[in-house]
Amino acid sequence: MIEFSCFKRKLFSEITEIPIFFQQKHLPSLDGLRAFSVFYVIAFHWYLGWAHDAEKDIYLPDMVQSALQEGILGVHFFFILSGFLITSLLLKEKIVHQAISFKNFYFRRAFRILPIAILYLLVVIVLNVIFDKDVKANNIIFPLFFAENLDINYHYYTAHYWSLAVEEQFYLFFPFMITLKILNYYRVALILLIIAPAVHYIFTHHCPGNPFLRHVLHFVNIILNRGLLSILIGTFLSIVLFKFKFTIQINKYLYSILQILVLYLVLFFHKRHWIGNVNILLSDIFIAIFLFSLLVNKDSLFYKLLNTSLFKWVGVLSYSLYIWQEPFCAFQPWKDSFPYGGSMLSNLPILMLVAFLSYNYFEKPFLKLKERFK
């Protein structure tokens, strides 16, 4: 039986108090879901290298290959998590202080994102000097200024910065959006949700012949349809949980089966190719539903798995793993220079070690500085 005690506050009323759920210091399952997401991305990039290397003869079941081919879903999980968390933090700040400090917000983002992002780019430059991997200036400059999603001449070692670019571009205007009255926020979000599929359809089927207009439409399509809506859906989930109280009681095994069904629908819709990228929008909505299911019920098997010590530990390292992963997953620069240089069995443990050292001995001092701007 499912009981919903919601609609205690109207959908369009302003948010004026912090629910008990958000008064927890750490929300459960989020670190575990980060761990799942980053390993999905790592598996996808390993699969790219395996598929590219004709010498490797590794059998993978069709179902596994089909799932690995959609590895970008791991990034979409990150987008929705990010939108959910940032919105939750800003709403709490707005309620407590009756305002949002934009200075503090951008300092927090800078201390979390920039140090390791810059360090990795410096390491790529060194690797390029040693192994001559044809890394160009634009392959460093675009990621450095969080514009990698706009670069058409990307390089494998820095291509994953496209997702950082999407998030940082979103955060240029999102804190200002959240200061709006809730009804105005809904209006802006609805406009984006309507415009994005329309732009994708026009760009795909009726792209103008004029080069300037074509480039402008291409730019707008990238901005709207490569992650922005995913983050926006995460913000909606946060608002829903702020405004309504949910109580769900159901057999844990049946609940776990329903969660598996939701994950299947995430993959099912993501593999479609529908007009206006509507299928991606539906896939992201089901990701948000899966996250919702983890937050409102603690009895499912997925909840217990994602809240194990191992998953939580990997989740803490997830950003470090995401930044450092590329040279270790495929096209390793040292592949032909050392025995087993291209083996995942040797590269994955080294990646874990690099991420651990990076987080504990390089990032933590900056995270302590970040705490000053809470």
Q: Tell me the per-residue pLDDT of 245-287, one tens digit each, with 9 for 90 and over.
A: 887 878 889 999 999 999 999 999 999 888 888 999 999 999 9
C-alpha pair distances (Å), 191 with each of 78, 182, 188, 229, 237 = 23, 14, 5, 11, 18
What residues in the chain have per-residue pLDDT under 50?
1-9
Q: What is the CA radius of gyration of the chain?
A: 21
Amino acid 81: pLDDT: 97
Indicate the domain borders of the chain: 31-371
Instruction: Name the H helices within the chain.
Output: 30-52, 62-68, 73-97, 102-131, 138-144, 161-178, 182-205, 211-225, 228-243, 252-270, 278-296, 301-306, 309-316, 318-324, 326-329, 344-358, 364-371
Residue 124: CB partners within 8 Å, gap ≥ 6? Answer: 135, 139, 140, 157, 158, 327
C-alpha pair distances (Å), 58 with each of 49, 193, 329, 368 = 12, 42, 16, 44
Distance CA 108, CA 171 (A): 12
Amino acid 246: pLDDT: 81
Taking alpha carbons only, the member of 92, 31, 71, 97 closest to residue 305 is: 31
Amino acid 116: pLDDT: 98
Amino acid 54: pLDDT: 53
Amino acid 5: pLDDT: 46
Distance CA 346, CA 84 (A): 35
Amino acid 57: pLDDT: 54
CA atoms within 13 A on the CB side of 57: 1
Residue 308: CB partners within 8 Å, gap ≥ 6? Answer: 32
To the nearest 10 degrees (0 to 180), the angle between helices 252-270 and 73-97 is 110
